[in-house]
Structure 1
């Protein structure tokens, strides 16, 4: 009797063990569980994020999608080590349904229940870009404040820029010598910021040359820039009260090809020997060709460019050189327009604020406070 009871108890234990093993085996092939489907935050309403609990013994997860509860189509696959998928390029405010299909090592598939409806929606603000938004607001506030500050008649200090101060002197030298001025606006198109800045300086040079009745010649590399320069010079002559002295023939097209243009300008410099030469704009390898020949001719040379690789050549061969943002600041410096002066001052303080934030971030990182970097980062 006791022997029978032992066998009976052993049979029960084996049966329980069998159920446990069976449950584990079934769990390996069970559908994906704990699925969370949600709209992706901080986007334009074109993506849905799917997350789930990893299943055992799975090779891949296949994502099926439908705009209705049926007719599922595969939209992507992920490996077993991933439990997340972001479905993109969706229509905003439209309902979608999903199934996550798990494939195990034996090649069998198991589907999750249908998830949905899930609706992607757009957010008004991308909170990941909050630091950028704050920076734009602060920067804009600084610019607007200093514009009104300048318009109120208060003096705004701008450091002296020797190259711009020398413009009047260089034009006066050409006038006293009975010679002429050569203005080179570089090889950039009108889309170049340096070329646009060059046009502002040209307006000042043209105005003074018209007042002093000093010939101004401009050999051009770009037909579009040439026409703009003609209009600027013509307006300068009108403003100076000498419209009759304007001649569009002094502003002429030479060549679009870089070194053909450089060779032509060098020939003009050596033959006509201008007293003053301006190089203002975007330059490439032709910069040294221009300025070296101009230096050999004995002309006063004033250059300005934002081309970092060409600045050493201008600094070496020219009398004055505007470097980088000095070229951009020229219009405000020369015109003293409150709008331009205020914008320039506001931008300077905005840059100062950026430098201060960088220094604070470096110090915080060195002492182990990561929260500042995390707060300012854009993810």
Structure 2
């Protein structure tokens, strides 16, 4: 009796099971994978044949998976696309590995087809040129072209209009005051070595200060914390005195090395400032914690102080304690402004084109992102604007 009942129940259930198995959509066919052209080696393109028309009406979407092995349990979900699409690009892959890909059709009832897997593994390949960065290539050409153009203009003798920098305009005043008071001029080219670009910029400013001091017959004292900086500073000051027509006034003993130790150097300079009370103090270079000590000491002795650095953490101390401060890029522009060399002036003007491009990119990106957010990321228009802003940020501006 029990056996008969089991047979009847199984016969009733089995047709339903067969119906469920046959209700799934047809599997995609001819799945293939190929390397994405013109990329950085992190994308793979996959494509497959469209299913028949009568089956296509049943399919709602395709689910795509990737794996580093052919093991069915190791596939990781990548994304879902609409049924009317027959190709897809998988991004953010590692070119050190090879990948298998799997695609499953899903119908409107949520039933899944049998998976279709690529026959062989494939790894992304880095190309010589990343097509997504082509706009950045164009911007680079414009920027480099503008630099070369303005250098050429400067070399031909055409005067280039450069904005005046207040701190540099005060050099003559500071040196003149030191001459009238019979006191020295203190110049500190930072505490870094010659491999630091801020030190090089500081040495360029020193050339101008030394030239003005030679014309006024004032004494310039340059204590350094690096031996190479001392050598470069001596040659710079000597050349400036020679240019001013006062080579006999040059004294190399006024440009000297103290110590590499940060606070040992600061202790010496601070003591010298208190004893000799220089009338003008120039701080041009890379500074760290010693910036506040030096600036406060100079402020206490009543010296005219002009500072310049690209160290963001030290700028507030210089701004608070010094009479003039060259902030960040002004410091590097000062070296070009003072030297008057065509190459530096042309580079300075050419960089302005790059700044305009970056500023325009930021404004456009903010506008696109704002409009896209207001329109709603769920809408096609809003999503397109947000994607465009993301592309602008991640590909062009970075």
Contact 1:46 1:90 in 2 (8 A): no
Cα deviation digits, residues 317-375 of structure 1 (max 9, x gap):
22222122111111221133333222212222331332233223333443346445256
Aligned to 1:68: none
Residue 186 of structure 1 aligns to a residue in which SS?
Answer: coil
Change (3 A) 1:377 1:159: closer
Aligned to 2:127: 123
Residue 282 of structure 1 aligns to a residue in which SS?
Answer: coil
CA distance in 2, matches of 1:239, 1:297: 32
CA distance in 2, matches of 1:321, 1:153: 31
CA distance in 1, matches of 2:96, 2:44: 8
Change (3 A) 1:20 1:341: same
Contact 2:67 2:74 in 1 (8 A): yes
Q: Structure 1: any 5+ residue segments left out of the alignment?
A: 1-11, 66-73, 101-109
CA distance in 1, matches of 2:290, 2:187: 15
Structure 1 residue 298, shift from structure 2 partner: 2.2
Aligned to 1:312: 316
Structure 1 residue 269, shift from structure 2 partner: 0.4
Aligned to 2:230: 226
Contact 2:93 2:124 in 1 (8 A): no
Aligned to 2:33: 37
Listed as ranges, the matches of 1:166-177 within 5 Å are 166-177=170-181
Structure 1 residue 116, shift from structure 2 partner: 4.8
Using structure 2 for the length normalisation, give the TM-score.
0.70
CA distance in 2, matches of 1:121, 1:80: 22
Structure 1 residue 299, shift from structure 2 partner: 1.8
Cα deviation digits, residues 24-61 of structure 1 (max 9, x gap):
8xx9xxx9975432214434568766789769xxxx97
CA distance in 1, matches of 2:92, 2:364: 36
Contact 2:185 2:218 in 1 (8 A): yes
Cα deviation digits, residues 147-168 of structure 1 (max 9, x gap):
2333343332222211101112
CA distance in 1, matches of 2:355, 2:92: 38
Listed as ranges, the matches of 1:133-212 within 5 Å are 133-212=137-216
Tell whether 2:347 aligns with 1:343.
yes
Matched residues, number: 342
Cα deviation digits, residues 265-300 of structure 1 (max 9, x gap):
110101112122111112222112111111221222
Aligned to 1:106: none
Change (3 A) 1:32 1:221: farther
Contact 2:230 2:257 in 1 (8 A): yes
Contact 1:97 1:114 in 2 (8 A): no
Cα deviation digits, residues 196-241 of structure 1 (max 9, x gap):
2111101111223334442221111223322222222233234334
CA distance in 1, matches of 2:146, 2:91: 43
Residue 206 of structure 2 aligns to a residue in which SS?
Answer: helix
Aligned to 1:332: 336
Residue 38 of structure 2 aligns to a residue in which SS?
Answer: coil
Using structure 1 for the length normalisation, give the TM-score.
0.73
Aligned to 2:371: 367
Change (3 A) 1:63 1:49: farther
CA distance in 2, matches of 1:77, 1:15: 32
Aligned to 2:76: 79
Aligned to 2:68: 63
Listed as ranges, the matches of 1:225-244 within 5 Å are 225-244=229-248
Contact 1:128 1:378 in 2 (8 A): no
Which residue of 264, 267, 273 maps to 1:269?
A: 273
Residue 218 of structure 1 aligns to a residue in which SS?
Answer: strand
CA distance in 2, matches of 1:313, 1:113: 64
CA distance in 2, matches of 1:160, 1:373: 36
Aligned to 2:356: 352
Contact 1:78 1:85 in 2 (8 A): no
Please identify, of 206-215 and 118-127, the stretch whose mean Cα deviation from structure 2 is larger.
118-127
Q: CA RMSD in A?
A: 4.0
Contact 1:131 1:378 in 2 (8 A): no
Q: Structure 2: any 5+ residue segments left out of the alignment?
A: 1-10, 49-61, 81-89, 103-113, 373-381
Change (3 A) 1:86 1:48: farther
